[in-house]
Amino acid sequence: MEARVSDRSFGQQLRALRQSAGLTIEALAEASTVSGRAISDMERGRARAPQERTLVALADALELGDAARAELVELARAERSGNRVGRPRLYELPRGLGDFVGRVPELELLLRRGREAAADGPTPVVVVHGQAGVGKTACAVRAAEQLRGEFPDGQFYVDLRGTDAEPMPTVEVLDRLLRALGVKPGAIAEDEQERASQVRALLAERRCLLVLDNAADEAQVRPLLPGPGAGMAIVTSRRTLAGLETVSRIALAPLSPPESAELLRKIVRDDSARAPGGEVVEVARLCGNLPLALRIAGTRLASRPGWTMKNLAERLSDEDRRLAQLSVGDVGVEAAFALSYAVLSSRAKTLFRRLAHVPSVDFAAPIAAVLTRTDLFTAEDELDRLVELGLLQHEGADRYRFHDLIRLYATQRLREEEPAEVRAAAEQSMTDWLLETATMAGRWFEPEAGEPPAEGKGLVAIASPEEAHAWLQVERDSWLAALRLAAAAGRHEQVAGLGEAIYWFAGTMDHWSSQWVEVFALSRAAAARLPDRLGELRHLNHYAWAVLGVGRLEESAALAMEAYRLAESLGAVKEQAEAIWSAGEVWRVASNLDQALWAYSRARELADTAGAHITFLQSFVGAGLTLAGLGRVDEALREFRAVLREIDGRPVPPGMAQATRAAVQLGLARTLADAQRWQEAIDAATPALASSTEMGRRWYIGHVHLVLGRAHAALGAAEQAREHLTAGIELLQDDVVTSPRTMDEAKAQLAALGD
C-alpha cells in the first residue's frame, strides 16, 4: 500500500512522484533544469526542501496536477519551517530547556526585534552577552523557539567555539551556512569575502533566523551577519562585542533569588520534603544565582534520592570546595570560568588573580594598580578587558565587582599560581596603601587640618575635605578590612596612626556607630603596645566616645575615668580635660545630671588652662544641656549664648566652629521647646536645621526635626508638624543614643495628629 503523503518527507514524496512519472533522476534534471545532484540530495534528505522557483520547475517537469502540486508545495514549506518530523537539517537549533525560568524582559526584547524584521529594512542583530554560565545560549534558543513561526525559511544554529583555544574560522562557518542554505559544495566560493556575499545574498531573499552562539570576537562575527532583509541574527558571547555597529545588546545577569529558587524546584521536581523554602534560597545564594551552577546543584540533588537540600547547602558552604561541588558529568562551573581565564594575557591573569585580595565587595581602579604595580591607566584598561570577558562586572560608573563564584575561582588561581611570599607581598602592598590613603583622608577633618603634602596625593584625588569624605565612605569596607589585617599582623603604628587620624571624621558619621567601636578598639589595643603613653591616653578617650555611641554607658564612663586618672598621673592637663568631658557626656546621657554638671565645670577649667579651645566650648554646650535637663532654663540659655560669643572669640577651626554652633542652636531650640516657648523654639531650630543639613549630621538633623514637629503641633500647624515629626523619626529610628522615651513620645504625637 502506498504511504500516505502525511507520513512522507518532501524527499520521499519527490522520489515517489518521479518514479510514478517513469523518470530517472537524469531525465528529471534535464526536464526541470535542476541539477541531478540537487535532486538526488533532496530525495535522500541531504538537502533542505527547495524554494518556490525550484518547486515550480520540478512540478512542471513532473506534469503534476493541482492536488499533487499543492501537496508537494505544502511538504516543502512544512520542512523549511521545521514543522516536519524527519531527518534533521544541517545546523538545527539545539534542544531547548523544558525547565527554562526567568529572562522575561530579555525575551520580550528579542521577540519584538524578531517580529519587527521587515524585508526592506536592516536585518535586526541582537548580541546577548554575559559571564560564563549565565545562560546566554539557553536564552537565545528559547527566543528562537518562540520565533519559529516568524522565520518559515529556516533557523540555523552554529557554535562558533569562541572560548576554544582555536575558535571556528569564519570561512568554515560561512561554508557550513551556505551548505545549510542549500548551496551545492561546488558552487561555494573559496574566498571568505565572497562566501560572506553569498550568505548575504541568500538571506536577503529568505526569512531566516541565525543563532551564532559563543562568538570569540567582532572579527569572527562581522562577516556572518546578514545584510538588509527580513531575517534576524542572535549572537551570544562572553564579550560585549562593542565593535559591532548597529546592533542591540542584552546583558544577562544572574537570576533573581526568586527565579533561582523556582529553577531549583523545577529541577528537583518541587519535592518540598527534600527542599523546604529556606534551604532552597540558601543553595541559590551559594550558587550565586548563576544558572549553570543552579542547574548543576539541582541535578546533583535530583540524582541522589538520599540527599536533601540541606545536605547540598552544607556541601556548598565550604568555600574551598564549592567549585568542586558544582560539577557534574562533563559540565562544571570551574571549567566554564577556566575557558575565559585561558584567553587572558599574562598581565590580565595576574590582575584577575590578585583582585582576590580585595576585601570589599566592590572596588575601583586604584587598588588594581596597587596590586599589580602599574599606573592607573594600565589598570583601567586591564579591568575593562576582564569586564569584556565577563570575569568582572561594572558596579556603577567607575567601580567593579566579582560574581561570588568567580571570586572563588580567582582565589583558587591565586593560591595555585603564585608563591606564598608573592601573595603576602601583594596583600601587604594593598593594605599599606589603603591605610595610608585613609590616614591622609582622615587628616582633613582634624581641627588644624591643612592640605596634605604633595607626595600624599597618589592614585586618588583627595585634595579637599569633600573628596576625603567621599573616599572614606565609598572605600569603608576596604580600609576597615585593611585595619583588621594590620592589627592581626602586629603593625601597631599603622593601626594607631589611622585611629588618631580618623577620630574627627568619625564625629561626622553618627550612623557608623558600631564600626567606630571596632576601629577604636583596635587602635586602643595598638596604642597600648607602643611607648607613647599620651597616645595611649588619646586612644582610650576615643574608645570611650565610641562605646558611648552604641549606648554602652557604664563602660564608657569607666573608660573615661580611667583615661582621666592616667592623664592626671602623667600631668597631661589637656587630656584630663578631654577625659572628664567624655565622662560628663556619659553621665548626662545616663541622667546623672549633677555628676555631669560637675564634670563639665571641671573640664572647662582644665581646658581653659591648657588652651584646649574645642573642649572648652564643648563643656559649655554640655553644661547648657545638663542645666536644661535640671529645669534650670534661664541658666541653660545663658550657657548657650555664652558659647556663641566664645566661638567668635577663640581660635577654633571653621569646621569645628560650624559643628559647635549647630550643637548650640539645637540645644537652644530643645530647651525653649521644653519650656513651651514654641515660637522662640522655631526661631532657634530653623537656623539649626540649615546648619545641620549643611554638615550632613544625621543625628542633629533628626532632633531638630523633632523640635520643629513639637513646636508646630503646639501652635496648631498640623501639616508642618507631621512633616517634621515623620522626618525626625525616620532619621533616628535606628539610633542607639536617642532614648526610647524620646522616640515613643514623637511617635505618639505623630499618631495624635492623624492623617
pLDDT of the residue at 65? 85
Q: Indicate if the pLDDT at residue 4 is higher than 50.
A: no
Cell reading at 698: 544625621
* Helix, strand, or coil (residue 317): coil
pLDDT classification of 755: cutoffs 50, 70, 90: low
Closest alpha carbon to 264 in 247, 252, 281, 249? 281
* CA dist., res. 344 & res. 382, Å (int): 10
Residue 429 vs residue 87, higher pLDDT: 429
Position 154 scores a pLDDT of: 84
Q: In whole angstroms, how far apart are CA 90 and each of 154, 449, 551, 643? A: 10, 74, 73, 88
More confident residue, 694 or 736: 694
In the predicted structure, residue 163 carries a pLDDT above the cut 90: no
Element (H, E) at 340: helix 333-342
Name the grid cell of 343: 584567553
CA 570 to chain centroid: 51
Residue 421: CB atoms within 10 A of its CB come to: 8
DSSP character string of 351-416: HHHHGGG--SSEEEHHHHHHHHT--HHHHHHHHHHHHHTTSSEEETTTEEE--HHHHHHHHHHHHH
pLDDT of residue 307: 84
Cα–Cα dist 600/660, whole Å = 15
Residue for grid cell 570551574: 334
User: In the chain, pLDDT over 70 holds for what percent of residues?
Assistant: 93
Indicate the helix (H) or strand (E) that contains 234: strand 232-237
pLDDT at 220 over 80: yes
Q: Is the pLDDT of residue 747 over 70?
A: yes
What Cα–Cα distance (Å) separates residue 151 from each residue in 116, 154, 280, 315, 706? 12, 6, 39, 46, 66
pLDDT score, position 740: 81
HSE, CB side, 13 Å, CA atoms: give it for residue 509. Answer: 20
Residue 666 has pLDDT above 60, yes or no: yes
Q: Could you report the per-residue pLDDT of 574-606, keeping only the tens digit for each?
A: 999 999 999 998 999 888 999 999 999 999 999
Task: Compute CA 472 distance to the chain's CA centroid, rounded to the nearest angstrom.
Answer: 19
User: What would the grid cell of residue 458 be?
Assistant: 597618589
Per-residue model confidence (pLDDT) at position 87: 38
State the virtual CA torsion across 455, 458, 460, 464 in degrees, nearest 10: 10
- Per residue in 249-304, pLDDT (tens digit) is 999 999 999 999 999 888 887 665 556 678 889 999 999 999 999 999 988 888 88
With cut-offs at 50, 70 and 90, classify the pLDDT of residue 710: very high
Confidence of residue 448 (pLDDT cuts 50, 70, 90): low
Tell me the pLDDT tens digit for each residue of 423-433.
999 999 999 99
Grid coordinates in use for 442? 582622615
Grid coordinates given for 180: 545549510
Residue 453 has pLDDT above 60, yes or no: no
Is pLDDT above 80 for 82?
no
Average pLDDT over residues 94-116: 88
- Least confident range from 232-246, 260-274, 294-308, 617-631: namely 260-274
Quote the CA–CA distance of 179 and 701 in Å, as a whole number: 73
- Residue 604: what residue type? R
Q: Mean pLDDT across the stretch 556-580? A: 92
Query: Does the pLDDT value for residue 85 go beyond 90?
Result: no
Amino acid at 155: Q
Lowest mean pLDDT among 67-71, 187-191, 354-358, 623-627: 67-71
Q: How far apart are CA 212 and CA 625, in angstroms?
A: 73
DSSP string, 122-159: PPPEEEEE-STTS-HHHHHHHHHHHTGGG-TT-EEEEE
**Higher pLDDT pick, 427 / 448:** 427
* Cell numbers given for 471: 573616599
Spell out the residues 6+ positions from residue 519 whose beta carbon is closer than 8 angstroms to its own. Answer: 480, 483, 498, 499, 502, 506, 546
Q: Which residues pair with 327 in a beta bridge?
A: 332
pLDDT category of residue 2 using cuts at 50, 70 and 90: very low
How large is the average pLDDT for residues 607-631? 91
Strand 399-401 and strand 362-364: the pairing is: antiparallel
- Whether the per-residue pLDDT at 122 is higher than 60: the answer is yes
As a whole number of angstroms, the distance between CA 201 and CA 227 comes to 8
Cell of 388: 569584556
The top-scoring range by mean pLDDT among 170-184, 295-309, 418-432, 646-660 is 418-432
Kindly state the cell numbers that stand for 557: 564612663
φ/ψ of 303, rounded to 5, equals -90, 0
Q: What is the DSSP letter of 592?
A: -
Grid cell at residue 76 = 516543502
Q: Is 250 helix (H, G, I), strand (E, B) or coil?
A: strand
The Cα–Cα gap between 687 and 670 comes to: 13
Q: Convert 310-321 to b/e letters by CB count within 10 Å (16 or more is b).
A: eebbebbeeeee
Q: Are 613 and 652 in contact (CB under 8 A)?
A: yes
Give tens-digit pLDDT for 351-401: 999 999 999 889 999 999 999 999 999 999 999 999 988 899 988 778 999
Q: Please check the confidence at residue 5 and state whether its pLDDT lies above 90.
A: no
By the 8 A CB rule, do 202 and 96 touch?
no
What is the rounded distance in angstroms from the CA atom of residue 244 to the CA atom of residue 222?
7
Identify whether the C-beta of residue 564 lies closer than 8 Å to the C-beta of residue 579. yes
CA–CA separation, 234 and 160 (whole Å): 12
Give the integer Cα–Cα distance in Å for 320 and 429: 25
Predicted confidence (pLDDT) at residue 3 exceeds the cutoff of 60: no
H or E stretch covering 157? strand 155-159
For residue 119, pLDDT over 70 is answered with no
C-alpha 103: how far from its chain's center? Answer: 18
Summary mean pLDDT of the chain: 87
How confident is the model at residue 392, as a pLDDT? 92
What the block records as the C-alpha cell of 656 is: 569645628
d(CA 616, CA 607): 5
Residue type, 23: L
The residue type of 97 is: L
Strand 331-332 vs strand 327-328: parallel, antiparallel, or unpaired? antiparallel
**Which pLDDT band, with edges at 50, 70 and 90, does 86 fall under?**
very low
Indicate whether 72 pLDDT > 80: yes
Reference 92, options 9, 196, 213; nearest CA is 213
What is residue 8's predicted lDDT score, i.e. its pLDDT? 67
The one-letter amino acid at 446: E
% of the chain surpassing 90 pLDDT: 49
d(CA 145, CA 155) in angstroms, rounded, equals 9
Q: Strands 125-129 and 399-401, how do they pair?
A: unpaired
